[in-house]
Amino acid sequence: MSVQAKTLLNHLVSEIRAKRESSAQEALLVALDALRYLEKELLILGPGQVELPLIDRLESHFRQPRSIQAEKLVNLTVLSDDDVLLVEEFGTRAMQQNRLARLIEETYAKEALLDGNRLCLLLPLTLVALRERLKPLWEMGVLLPGFCLLFR
């Protein structure tokens, strides 16, 4: 089974075709409507998203112990459909590196920061492994916002 077949949209298309006698195009249109409804009305968090208390970037001007850091709840996209394409084309390591960069940038865009321990919750990697994934990006000159908190 293809990795792409495991997306929510493809699952809906498959279920619609299994339960009703319809063409692939018709099933796709019904599945798209169902997905739009789910995302708009029922899913507070989209597929692959989590809600996590993160450091409030606007209140964090210097390093502080976690117990006194200002926090805020942030929705983050841990799993994306793009991850599937990356695994197929470039492999797991490239997908993990992309996911790491996406999480850091998404967090910063939502005016929050990730520290190393919270990042380890989201990715099945140690701090040492996370640094190794970031090194090639840094060597290419890519600067991810808030990345210095990984070195606490």
Q: What is the pLDDT of residues 46-80, one digit of tens each?
A: 678 888 888 887 666 566 666 777 888 888 988 88
Q: What length is written for the chain?
A: 152
Is a pLDDT exceeding 70 seen at residue 152? no
CA 92 to chain centre: 15
What whole-number distance in Å separates Cα of residue 127 and Cα of residue 120?
A: 7
Concatenate the DSSP letters of all residues of 12-46 into one string.
Answer: HHHHHHHHS---HHHHHHHHHHHHHHIIIII-SS-
Q: What is the pLDDT of residue 30?
A: 92
Side-by-side strand order, sheet with 112-113:
71-77, 49-56, 112-113
Bridge partners of 51, per DSSP, are 75
Q: What is the pLDDT of residue 11?
A: 86
pLDDT (tens digit, 9 = 90+) per residue, 25-49?
Answer: 999 999 999 888 887 777 677 678 8
Strands (E) located in 1-152: 49-56, 71-77, 112-113
> 144 by DSSP, 3-state: which?
coil
